Every structure is written in structure tokens, then in C-alpha cells.
């Protein structure tokens, strides 16, 4: 957006069609007797003493006409935790609408049936299963391995708790038919989850439609017709440490020797990232960072943070304090399963002396790095096509940069400048990782894919190494990462972004906001006139249907509105840019529009 628009917030809008809401009326809730019967049947097949005791207490309360207990039973049994492209994710507890051993066992049996049903004649499908340090992750993983082995699938359990990127790597490394990672990533401590990857033609990416629906149907069949004690259990394998060693070697090989060592701080956010990160850094020749000791060991209670997500306010406070003690040049943070990366740099104007970079800032500079590397060493033909046989056109020799639709337009500016292909995908690395000819992909929620030839998912460890390598090169040349961001704005334009994230307890409130924006679309956001609105609910320009509104503003700014796919949140993404004037003038112009959009959107979604 140029400086004149930033100053004036005017111009005329074009008419735009807006899709009407198609939300159907919800089915009536089961009566108390039906829900109590479902809970009683569930109790009879539950192998977990903790959730057994939880459910017995609720049933006793219901028998005593305790309204709180009855309400809780309805919350846990009237619906089922949905299996979709994000797999399963929810609070740990008893009931079909919670994460527990019954639900996970049903999911494992359903996935096994899907794998057997889609295997080639005479082929035994295989699955590799990983788990992080959250509550019940190991037992959920072991249950899955035993049940899938009992169903006739070759099941391989990773040797210990490990980061999600190691599991994503193992699917390809072991040429497995599928992968399962038991993790809730950066969700609150009460949650756990179940991510599914597919091998073969899917190249180790997370599942997408229609496979998620096929798997969900098998899970429903198991839940309807089989009880957990009736599911056969078999003997599964435990993978050798060589799988982890192969990931470490492949990741360390993505960078050259350090040109200068960097004084850095690292936090694992009470997760499983440090041991693998340490071994990768050692293999690549980098000095080990100073650790945030209170957050370095896996701890499922996440005692030092309200939410174990580096994006959340306060999550990096201990890292900032540690950085001040050693005058660190860089802060590196992984989320609990180490598939995300947060970076912070010294900033005299920031409270505490350090500023966390946005996911868009990190994505832009890693994308720039990838473009420069691709220009110097174009990807080989087989790297561009082997995993992308479903594409009709070959990828350019220089490859593709890709990001999600809610990520900054900055990556497109880089791709255009280097003559590379740019792909915009739906939110989630299940989509980003499938971009044809991919050399780098990211999404603004701190997810980066820098080594698609080995891992087809976001990887906070390889991304940390790539960023550390970049900072090392810059330091050797007398520059900092802050300098590099300044240079980016000078070359490609200054891009500003912000996010409004509204956490809710009533999910229907999110639907009401989306319906209101569709039925009564805004003409202005703040004082900036709307140019047009793209409703992605029915699919748009080749993108699959998604509950997303993309609002284009006169002058080039953009607002995206969508419900979160993994948390009870409504998310609003704001993006502005300027290519006019000096870097400082570009920053002022873009930030002025950003502030106006944020003010206006907060009013609209209130």
C-alpha cells in the first residue's frame, strides 16, 4: 500500500458478491437416558483406571440427579471428537468427545482398516508411530501400535519420546504406508492429539481430503460395531536409534560449516526438542546455545507458561531474561513437539530488550535465503518431480516458494524477484507440503519447511539450523538479523502483519461472527474502504472449500478471517505493505494502515 493511501484512507469500492450462510439446524441433543446409556457402554470397554474413575463419578452424580454431572455427561458423550485433516485433538478425559484410550484405540483400528483396504494385493501396509512428552502420549502410541499390529499392519514404534519432525522424517525414511504422531503440539496442557501422515504417493505429508473422510468412516464403523476388548492386539516393532541418527545427519547436512559462531539462547518450552536439536547443532559444527534451564526438560504440566506456545504473550519471558544475562544475539524457541520455531532478536525499543519476530518476518527471510540458494544451485529434475507426479506441469528449475493463504504476501514478492513459482495454499502444512517443486514453504503460525526432500511437514529444528546459519553468515559479514530485515524491506518492499486471536468457550460464537460478516459484509474496515470479498467456503481459484473470508481493501491491504482448525479461536490476519520512499517511510505507511485495520476489525468482530 502506498503512502498516499496510507495517509488518506479513501477511494471507491466495487460491488462484491457475498455468499449467504448455509449453516443447517443442529440435530436435537440426546435425552438424559440416552446419554447415560452411552456412557455406561463406554465404561464397560474403557481400559484406563483414571478415566474409569472419572466416568463412574459422573454416572453416580447423574443417578443422584446432579445437574452438573448430567451436563458434563452430555458434553462428553452427545458428540464425538471429529477426525479430520488435522487428525484428532482435544482435552484428555473420558467420553467420545475427549482424548482417551478408547477413542485412540478406535482411531488406530479405523486407520489400520483403511491401510489394509487401500494396500496393493499381496502388500502388507506399515505404519510408524511417534509420541511426545504430553500426558498419555506414550500409552496412546503403544495402544495404537499393538492394535494396528493385531489388525495385520506392520507397526513400528519410535524408540522414545521424540519431536514431530523425526516422525515425519521416519515415514519417508522407512518407506512406511503411514505415520502417526501423538501430540497436541502447542495446545494447552490438558490436551492431546493424533496426527496422521501417509506415505507412497502422499510422500509423507499429512492427510488431506478425501482420505480423512475414508479413515473417519472406518473409525465410525469400529466404534459402532466393536468394543475395545474385542480388538486383537499384536506384537509391534521398536525402531532402532539409527532412524533418529539418520534424521540428525540429513538435517545437519542442509547447511555448510558456520562462518561465525553465534551467542544464542534456546528454550524447548517444556517439550521434546532439545536433545535432537543439540545433536543436530553438534553435527553441523555450531556452538551450543545457552539454555533456558527451567523449560528444557519435557514436562506435560508446562509449569512456567500459561500456554506452551511461543506466540502467546509471556511464553518467552524466561528466554528474554536468560538472553539479557548473556547479551545474546539470538533467541531460538521450539514449541513442545518442536515442529514450530520462534525467533527473537535484540531490540532496544522493546520491553525487556528483545523482540520476537513474527512468523511472517521469519518466513520472508528464510524464503529469501531459499531463493538465493535455489538461484545458485537449481534443484534437480528428480527432486522437482518425483514427489509431485500428480502435477500436470513441471516445476521451474528454480523451484517453488509456497505459503498458506493467511501468510504475508512478502513471499510472493521474493518469488517474483527471483523468477520462481509461487503457490498459495489453504492453511496447514498438509497443503503447503504438497506444492509442486517445493524448495521452501511456511505459514505465519511459526511453521517452516526448509528441507522438503527429507521432511514433508513443518520442522522447527531444521528451520532453527537454517536461521542460525543465516545469522552466522550475516555476522561474518558484519550484519545482524535486524539489518537483514531492513535490507529485505529495501529490496522487496516493507510488509507489516498482525493477528487478532479471540479465544472462546462457546464455539457457536465463532459461527455467528462468520455468518454476520457474510450476511452483512463491511463496506469499510475502520476508515479504509473494502474493494471486494472472496468467500472461500465454496472453493476459490482452485483452492478447496474452506471457512475463510478474504477481504481486499482499496490500496492493496488484506484481511483474512477464519476459525482456528485446532483451537477454540477466531483468527483475523491483517497484512499491509508499501514500496514507496525510504525503508523508514515504507514502515510508517504500512504500519499506519495496519493500525487502522486492527482497530476496525476489533469493532466488527466484537
Q: Is 185 a catalytic residue?
A: yes
Q: How far apart are CA 263 and CA 270, in angstroms?
A: 22
Count the residues in the chain. 606
Integer Cα distance of 597 and 606 in angstroms: 14
263 and 330 in contact (C-beta within 8 Å)?
Answer: yes
DSSP for residue 544: P
From CA 570, how far away is CA 562, in angstroms rounded? 6
> Of 96, 105, 185, 578, which one is the catalytic site residue?
185
- β-bridge mates for residue 497, sequence order: 575
Q: Tell me if residue 313 falls in helix, strand or coil.
A: coil
| Beta strand segments in 113-159, E | 126-131, 154-157
Q: In which residue are the cell numbers 544475562 written?
A: 325
DSSP 259-279: SS---EEEE-TTSSHHHHHHH
Cell of 361: 518476518
DSSP notation for 426-450: -SSHHHHTTSTTEEEEEETTTEEES
Residue 508 C-beta-side C-alpha neighbours within 13 Å: 4
Phi, psi of 470 (to 5 degrees): -65, -45
Please tell me the distance from the alpha carbon of residue 215 to that of residue 570, in angstroms, as a whole number: 27
Is residue 553 a contact partner of residue 597, using CB atoms and an 8 Å limit? yes
Largest CA distance in the chain: 74
Q: CA–CA separation, 480 vs 489, rounded Å?
A: 15
**CA-wise closest residue to 132 among 154, 110, 158:** 158
Residue ranges with strand state E in 34-136: 88-91, 126-131
Catalytic residues: 185
Amino acid at each position: 500500500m502506498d503512502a498516499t493511501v496510507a495517509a488518506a484512507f479513501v477511494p471507491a469500492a466495487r460491488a462484491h458478491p457475498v455468499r449467504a450462510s448455509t449453516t443447517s439446524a443442529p440435530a436435537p441433543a440426546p435425552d438424559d437416558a440416552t446419554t447415560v446409556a452411552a456412557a455406561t457402554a463406554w465404561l464397560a470397554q474403557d481400559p484406563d483406571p483414571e478415566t474409569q474413575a472419572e466416568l463412574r463419578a459422573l454416572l453416580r452424580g447423574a443417578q443422584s440427579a446432579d445437574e452438573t454431572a448430567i451436563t458434563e455427561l452430555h458434553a462428553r458423550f452427545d458428540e464425538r471428537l471429529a477426525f479430520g485433516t488435522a487428525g484428532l485433538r482435544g482435552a484428555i478425559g473420558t467420553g467420545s468427545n475427549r482424548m482417551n484410550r478408547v477413542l485412540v484405540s478406535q482411531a488406530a483400528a479405523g486407520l489400520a482398516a483403511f491401510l489394509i483396504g487401500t494396500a496393493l494385493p499381496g502388500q502388507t501396509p506399515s505404519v510408524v508411530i511417534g509420541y511426545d512428552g504430553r500426558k498419555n502420549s506414550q500409552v496412546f502410541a503403544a495402544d495404537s501400535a499393538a492394535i494396528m499390529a493385531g489388525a495385520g499392519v506392520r507397526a513400528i514404534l519410535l524408540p522414545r519420546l521424540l519431536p514431530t519432525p523425526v516422525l515425519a522424517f521416519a515415514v519417508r525414511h522407512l518407506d512406511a504406508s503411514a505415520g502417526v504422531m501423538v501430540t497436541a503440539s502447542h495446545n494447552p496442557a490438558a490436551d492431546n492429539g493424533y496426527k496422521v501422515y501417509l506415505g507412497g504417493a502422499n510422500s509423507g505429508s499429512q492427510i488431506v481430503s478425501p482420505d480423512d473422510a475414508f479413515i473417519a468412516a472406518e473409525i465410525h464403523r469400529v466404534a459402532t460395531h466393536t468394543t475395545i476388548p474385542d480388538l486383537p492386539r499384536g506384537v509391534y516393532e521398536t525402531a532402532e536409534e539409527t532412524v533418529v541418527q539418520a534424521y540428525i545427519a540429513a538435517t545437519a547436512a542442509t547447511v555448510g560449516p558456520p562462518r561465525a559462531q553465534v551467542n544464542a539462547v534456546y528454550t524447548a518450552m517444556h517439550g521434546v526438542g532439545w536433545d535432537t536439536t543439540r545433536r543436530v547443532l553438534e553435527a553441523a559444527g555450531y556452538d551450543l546455545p545457552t539454555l533456558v534451564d527451567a523449560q528444557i526438560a519435557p514436562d506435560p504440566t508446562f509449569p512456567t507458561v500459561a500456554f506452551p506456545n511461543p506466540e502467546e504473550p509471556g511464553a518467552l519471558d524466561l528466554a528474554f531474561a536468560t538472553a539479557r544475562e548473556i547479551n545474546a544475539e539470538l533467541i531460538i524457541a521450539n514449541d513442545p513437539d518442536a515442529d514450530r520455531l520462534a525467533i527473537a532478536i535484540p531490540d532496544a525499543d522493546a520491553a525487556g530488550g528483545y523482540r520476537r519476530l513474527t512468523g511472517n518476518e521469519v518466513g520472508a527471510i528464510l524464503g529469501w535465503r531459499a531463493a538465493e540458494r535455489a538461484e545458485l544451485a537449481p534443484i534437480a529434475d528428480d527432486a522437482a518431480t518425483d514427489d509431485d507426479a500428480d502435477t500436470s506441469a513441471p516445476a521451474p528449475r528454480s523451484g517453488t516458494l509456497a505459503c498458506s493463504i493467511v501468510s504475508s504476501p512478502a513471499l510472493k514478492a521474493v518469488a517474483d524477484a527471483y523468477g520462481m513459482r509461487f503457490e498459495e495454499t489453504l492453511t496447514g502444512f498438509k497443503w503447503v507440503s504438497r506444492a509442486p517443486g517445493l524448495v521452501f514453504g511456511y505459514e505465519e503460525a511459526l511453521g517452516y519447511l526448509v528441507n522438503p526432500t527429507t521432511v514433508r511437514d513443518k520442522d522447527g529444528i531444521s528451520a532453527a539450523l537454517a536461521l542460525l546459519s543465516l545469522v552466522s553468515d550475516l555476522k561474518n559479514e558484519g550484519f545482524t538479523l535486524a539489518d537483514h530485515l531492513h535490507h529485505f524491506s529495501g529490496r522487496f518492499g516493507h510488509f507489516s502483519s498482525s493477528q487478532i486471536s479471540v479465544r472462546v468457550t462457546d464455539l457457536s460464537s465463532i459461527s455467528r461472527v462468520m455468518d454476520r460478516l457474510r450476511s452483512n459484509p463491511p463496506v469499510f474496515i475502520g476508515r479504509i474502504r473494502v474493494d471486494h470479498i472472496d468467500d472461500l467456503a465454496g472453493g476459490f481459484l482452485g483452492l478447496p472449500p474452506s471457512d475463510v473470508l478474504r477481504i481486499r481493501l482499496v490500496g492493496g491491504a488484506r484481511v483474512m478471517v477464519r476459525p482456528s482448525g485446532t483451537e477454540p479461536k477466531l483468527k483475523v490476519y491483517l497484512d499491509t505493505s508499501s514500496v514507496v520512499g525510504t525503508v523508514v517511510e515504507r514502515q510508517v505507511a504500512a504500519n499506519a494502515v495496519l493500525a487502522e485495520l486492527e482497530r476496525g476489525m476489533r469493532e466488527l468482530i466484537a
